[in-house]
A and B are shown apart, each in its own frame.
Chain A
């Protein structure tokens, strides 16, 4: 992890610099606002990744009851919450520039808001249970239940009504509508954010494990 940390700093700095300096702003976007795709989408991707990680480790916890897996799941959701909020904020900034309003109840926006609510609910659920075993088990059950219903959360709402949201990067034809510099920075950012996620996850999970150990060591 130390290696990752040392690598991330120069890498992400390069990505951020490139995001502002290298590719040309895209057509159809106001001013430089298209650059937000280098931050907004990776944030969204990271929070989704966080959820998948949380679901996977929740499953692992229920099968093996290894408390470390619960630590990881809890940490992943917290980080997912962070990046989820960042996604909403960057999206909102973009919306303001493009259409003049901070929030439009666009279905894709709204379903993302729901996702952030879900993360928050998970955190609240954990906070409301004292016993560590029960907390881990109940949180894992909730995470998995939510994971099963997630597709409805994310895909249903956008289908039911038309969408304001810019056409997604990966469109129905399967082609990626970006020029080379944009593509490079975009995937570079995606990769970098994933690395950032792993590092933060490692920190957060270890912190969780330490605080759990401290709670157990305390005399009853």
Chain B
């Protein structure tokens, strides 16, 4: 297998100290403020546009109602309910998030604001800011869905603290992966289909683990094992997203 003379983007390892496409440079102490600025900007945009946010919450509410109607009348025995409830919770959360999270980068590309953003910030910070926003959005969805679950599906939770931690950790993983993949799919045709396809294989392990953790929490045990896996997943995804941010969102 021979080597061809390289042609696209001549910046190779010899030319630069930082390896382009794989972010290895460190960021200064002001980075947190910058990340927060992006998150706040996204939030302001979404809140002013309103339609998008409303759609996401409306979806969650509708899905919740549908599930309640579907499960309620069948009168499942007590023992069978927890696994089903745990799975359904995360399915609803995932799909509600899937209507909102992928738009992180898509909107920037559609409206042409991506140029201004790219001109001012490195990809890693943009990714971090949008991930933060998506995480907060997810937590907001959960804050609405879970009480609904408690009421409509008579969900009994043994360990609320464990549920909270699971939602935080699982939501974070979902946010990191979704935001990164949103950057990858932002400029392609069939964007929404593409997003679901590339996200599905990577998110299933996360969802399964979150469901397992939720199930354990419902039974009153603190789900140490699944949580450890979730944290590991979150860490791995964060590291990978940080390193590959430049490659995902340049040019």
Chain A residues within CB distance 8 Å of chain B:
62-68, 72, 111, 114-115, 117-118, 120-122, 124-125, 128-129, 133-134, 136-138, 140-142, 144-146, 148-149, 151-153, 156-157, 159-160, 202, 205
Contacts and interface: CB of A to CB of B under 8 A. Distances in A.
A146 B241 CA distance: 10
Interface residues of B, number: 51
Given A124-B194, A128-B189, A142-B184, A149 B205 contact: yes
B229 A137 contact: no
A56 B11 CA distance: 19
Contacts of B205: 111, 114, 149, 152-153, 156-157
Contact of A140 (B185, B226, B247): B247
A152 B233 contact: yes
Contacts of B241: 145
B194 A115 contact: no
A68 B197 contact: no
Closest 4 CB pairs of A and B: A148-B240, A118-B201, A62-B21, A128-B188
A129 B241 CA distance: 20
Interface of B: 1-4, 6-13, 19, 21-22, 177, 180-181, 184-185, 187-190, 194, 197-198, 200-202, 204-206, 208-209, 212, 226, 229, 232-233, 236-237, 239-241, 243-244, 247-248, 250-251
Given A121-B197, A144-B240, A160 B208 contact: yes
Given A125-B194, A129-B188, A152-B236, 14 more contacts: A67-B4, A68-B1, A114-B204, A120-B197, A133-B8, A138-B184, A140-B21, A141-B184, A141-B244, A145-B237, A148-B237, A149-B202, A152-B233, A160-B208
Please classify the interface of chain A as helix (H, G, I), strand (E, B), loop, or mixed, using the class held by over half of its residues.
helix
13 contacts: A63-B12, A67-B8, A68-B4, A111-B205, A118-B201, A125-B184, A138-B248, A141-B184, A141-B244, A144-B244, A148-B240, A160-B208, A202-B1
B184 A157 contact: no
A65 B9 contact: yes
Given A64-B13, A124-B197, A152 B206 contact: yes
Nearest to A213: B4
B8 A65 contact: yes
A62 B24 CA distance: 13
Contacts of A68: 1-4
A121 B198 contact: yes
B200 A117 contact: yes
A121 B247 CA distance: 18
A150 to B, nearest CB: 9
A153 B239 CA distance: 17
